[in-house]
Amino acid sequence: MLEGKVAIVTGGTRGIGYEIVKKFLNNKAKVVLFGSREESVKKAVSSLKEEGYDVFGLYPNLSSLDEVKNAYDEVINKYGKIDILVNNAGVSSATPIEKYTEEEYEKIVDINIKAVYNCSKVVVEYLKENGGVIINTSSMVSIYGQPSGVMYPASKYAVNGITKSLARELGKYNIRVNAVAPGITETDMVKNLPKEMIEPLIKTIPLGRIGKPEDVANAFLFLASDMASYVTGEILSVDGAAMN
């Protein structure tokens, strides 16, 4: 479904991002994964290589426009173009507002909003040559809010705003911009959240289970492919109808 395409996946070292990388590779894309640290990038790249995939990884600071530009230059040097950007890197939070620190606020804003803005801003000049795709990882909490950790849902509302606005701004270049809003998905991010928060939520899910990274990655594959050629500005929920 992605033969001949070059894709960048931020936060591709584990969880949902890792599964998106595998899904794209299985569908014949060339993929560059971005992670936060050299060590985690090397680990992800070597385990993918062990599974027989040809992939390469970088670890720019996504909140620095210059570092993002340099990383894109490396992708262009290697593959000559960029067709698909997946803004997936993210950090969650469950801290009550009275306990929020300035550092936590800034960390969430930097990775969940500024990185999406930076990576999207710099990719436009590459995508606009032949058209292309940007897909952002939003969240179920961008629709329903969350009972603590206010800046996490706030950041995902911002992701939805960026998605809908860039879809309108970049349509003239045949750049489609969409988001996937996962429900609770089985990754490290969820393992770090308190049980008291997760268990009552699972009881409300009509499909009776939390999502698997592959459930979510399938939606990214659809949106990245020509199967979604007339879909833009969409926030696609992949949440088992949780909270409905």
Q: Which residues are designated catalytic?
A: 152
Q: Single out the residue of 72, 86, 88, 143 in contact with ligand NAD (rule: CB under 6 A).
A: 88
Size of the site for ligand NAD (CB under 6 A): 27
Binding mask 36-55 for ligand NAD (x = CB under 6 A): x---x---------------
When asked if residue 178 is in the footprint of ligand NAD (CB under 6 A), the reply is no
Question: Which residue has 């909003």 as its token pair?
Answer: 113
Among residues 6, 25, 30, 90, which is the contact residue for ligand NAD, using CB under 6 A? Answer: 90
User: Of residues 12-41, which lie at the interface with ligand NAD (CB under 6 A)?
Assistant: 12-17, 35-36, 40
Task: Point out which residues pair with 179 in neighbouring strands.
Answer: 136, 235
What does the alpha-carbon distance between residue 79 and residue 105 come to, in Å, rounded to a whole number?
Answer: 36
Give yes or no for residue 146 binding ligand NAD (CB under 6 A).
Answer: no
Using the minimum distance from each CB to ligand NAD, give the nearer residue, 131 or 163.
163
Six token digits for residue 103: 């550092």
The yes or no reply on residue 3 touching ligand NAD (CB under 6 A) is no
| Shortest Cβ 152–ligand NAD spacing (Å) | 7
Q: How far apart are CA 13 and CA 46, in angstroms?
A: 11
- Is 190 among the residues that bind ligand NAD (CB under 6 A)? yes
**CB closer to ligand NAD out of 80 and 206:** 206
Pick the piece of the chain touching ligand NAD (CB under 6 A) from 10-18, 66-74, 126-134, 229-237.
Answer: 10-18
Kindly state whether residue 95 participates in binding ligand NAD, applying the rule CB under 6 A.
Answer: no
Query: Residues interacting with ligand NAD, by CB under 6 A?
Result: 11-17, 35-36, 40, 62, 88-92, 111, 137, 139-140, 182, 184-185, 187-190
